[in-house]
Amino acid sequence: MHFQILLATSNAGKLRDFTGAAAPFGITIASIPNFSSLPQVVEDGATFEENARKKAESYSLAVSGELVLADDSGLEIDALGGAPGVYSARYAADEPHTAEGNTDDEANNARVLRELKSVLEQKRTARFICVLAVARDGQTVHTFRGAAEGVILDTPKGKNGFGYDPLFYFPQIGKSFAELSAEEKAQYSHRGAAFRSFLAWFRTT
């Protein structure tokens, strides 16, 4: 049996990640029809879960009766007290907590590298976090969390992926996330882990 899951995003990188995670299970990931014309949700939550729920609930109103998935995800670096965290996509802004739009991936990466310049390799531990919320008709039905533990490199590696993937080294496989295909990344990533939890729930509903 083939299923299509609607994802509340226009982010090509996220669509690629979730498509890679869903492919082995015969599931198609699609963006909500006319997503770009829907009113944009302000991601002002204090946690990944708050933002994910807010997006899922709001965008599910556009597709009556359908399950809609939304994720909020980011990078937590121990040496930076958990930053950039929920501000991962706009970390290069002068004041990330008040920035309305996302900042460029390269600029975000550059700020992280600047801030970690004097930090020793063994202190550069970090994790990617993903919280998925699934909603129908404006109500969150369930949330799922995934994490991936790694180390921040001092120079980017790899051309795949997006965001902080070129800096995120995964010791288990000896590669950065940007050196992996979408299918490989799904095996190890925070999004892959959250999506597998969603699938386990989805199959029992």
CA distances from 199 to 14, 21, 88, 184, 196 (A): 17, 10, 26, 18, 5
d(CA 23, CA 183): 8
Whole-number pLDDT of residue 37: 94
Which residues on neighbouring strands pair with residue 146, listed in sequence order?
130
Whole-number pLDDT of residue 2: 65
d(CA 27, CA 38): 25
This prediction has a pTM of 0.92
d(CA 7, CA 69): 5
Whole-number pLDDT of residue 114: 97
Whole-number pLDDT of residue 4: 87
Whole-number pLDDT of residue 205: 78
**Which position among 72, 78, 94, 137 bears the catalytic label?**
72
How is the chain split into domains, by residue range? 3-202
Whole-number pLDDT of residue 197: 96
| 72 part of the active site | yes
Whole-number pLDDT of residue 101: 81
- The stretches in the chain having pLDDT less than 70 are 1-2
Tally of residues, the chain = 205
CATH class of residue range 3-202: alpha beta
